[in-house]
Amino acid sequence: MEALYEKMDVEKLEIIKKELQERYDCFKKKGLKLDMSRGKPGADQLDLSMGLFDCNTGVKCYTTLDGTDCRNYGIVDGIPEAKKLFADIMEVDASEVIVGGNSSINMMFDTLAYGMTHGMAESYMPWGKLPKVRFLCPSPGYDRHFAICEFFGMEMITIPMKIDGPDMDMVEELAGRDEYIKGIWCVPKYSNPQGITYSDEIVDRLARMKTAARDFKIMWDNAYIVHHLYDEHDNLKNILSTCKEAGNPDRVLMFISTSKITFPGAGVAAMAASENNIKYFKKRLLKQTIGYDKLNQLRHVLFLKDMDNIHAHMEKHAAILRPKFKTVLDILEKELGGKNIAWWSKPRGGYFISLDTMPGCAKKVVEKAAEAGLVVTPAGATFPYGKDPDDRNIRIAPTFPPLHELEKAIELLCICVQLVSVEKVLAARKD
């Protein structure tokens, strides 16, 4: 379908361009200074977890139910009650959980570092000794995943995202024939940045597919596992049990953290996997550390309590976030709706709204916004090597700014989208 501007004559386009330019200049004069580049919770969200500090009273605050003094050394894979809580969140058994430090990305990084120096449990040799290691990267996706692959010199293969998950025909075809493909990155629920939740069929196919590599791993970063925005939740099929049923119990490694449940700087992360995998990862862990911060684990158990309480807590987050997401969507609709120059996601959870411009416009939009004082995630960041092949995708992170700043920011972004689109159409006319 033609974009609105493509139906207009040059004269009309020049008028629209002039109007947009005036609005843009007006913003520029205001001297905005806004950073929307990362998916950070706002301070009001952090205040929801101040109760964590009240857990530090009495003996209960440092002793586990089985009597372990959390202040002292010991327990490398997490205190029992934290294992139980994370098992409940991830819908796995406590024996399938390792509770870690404050960062799930650190656990993912360490996992691939292990792969490079030793391989996985099933590997014939360390990945670092292979001529090539390749990773499948559904995109748009999470830039920090791609950065880890790049750091370890892994070759990234972009997999297009469809409406219900990665293009599985392509995934099956590639993973099925290339033994150097060692895994795939997935943010399976309220995905970063599109807010997509994988369908049951995608989960089934990931669990069942034939892989040329016997040590192929699904890196299942379930960062938004309980991060719903509305009463109606997306449902994600349990991939660990699906993998078990498919006869591939060791294929998936699941990761979550409380970063966006409690404190991003001081939460608790965990991984879950088959007992075989847990046993293998503990081999490294036992050499790497004497144990993670058990006091923080216990503090989180005392504060988060159980699933009912976690859902009630997450509803408080949602109450803060809903108006922000609504504001962004309303302004996008008002400014860009029906023009066929931009398309955006309407997620039911997670931390992002994904905005696609006309091809070849995203970089220019981001630059223009930056000139007027609005920093968004760099265009291209959601693709391997920071290169969006169509230069279309922009990640909007609406959570951190207060509402009145968010309004201004998104209006400015929309002006930039329109201005760059008009300029693109005009340039094509002049060719």
Interface with a copy of itself by CB under 8 A: which residues?
38, 40-41, 43, 46, 49, 53, 56-57, 61, 69-74, 101-103, 105-106, 109-110, 113, 116-117, 126, 128-129, 144, 147-148, 151-152, 259, 263-266, 284, 287-296
Least gap, CB of 146 to a copy of itself (angstroms): 10
d(C-alpha 140, C-alpha 104), whole Å: 20
Least gap, CB of 230 to a copy of itself (angstroms): 25
Least gap, CB of 259 to a copy of itself (angstroms): 8
d(C-alpha 315, C-alpha 309), whole Å: 10
What does each C-alpha distance from 292 to 67, 71, 103, 189 come to in angstroms?
A: 17, 11, 11, 27
Asked whether the beta carbons of 96 and 272 are under 8 A apart, the reply is yes
Q: Which CB sits closer to a copy of itself, 181 or 223?
A: 223
DSSP symbol at 130: S
d(C-alpha 267, C-alpha 104), whole Å: 10
Q: Which CB sits closer to a copy of itself, 115 or 166?
A: 115
Of 334, 413, 419, 341, nearest to 377 by C-alpha is 413
Q: Residue 404 burial (CB < 10 Å; 0-12/13-18/19+)?
A: exposed
Residues 6+ away with beta carbon under 8 Å from 283: none
Least gap, CB of 232 to a copy of itself (angstroms): 29
Q: Which CB sits closer to a copy of itself, 35 or 88?
A: 35
Least gap, CB of 204 to a copy of itself (angstroms): 32
Q: Which CB sits closer to a copy of itself, 78 or 188?
A: 78
Q: Which CB sits closer to a copy of itself, 78 or 166?
A: 78
Other beta carbons within 10 Å of 330: 13
Q: Which CB sits closer to a copy of itself, 64 or 354?
A: 64
Least gap, CB of 198 to a copy of itself (angstroms): 24
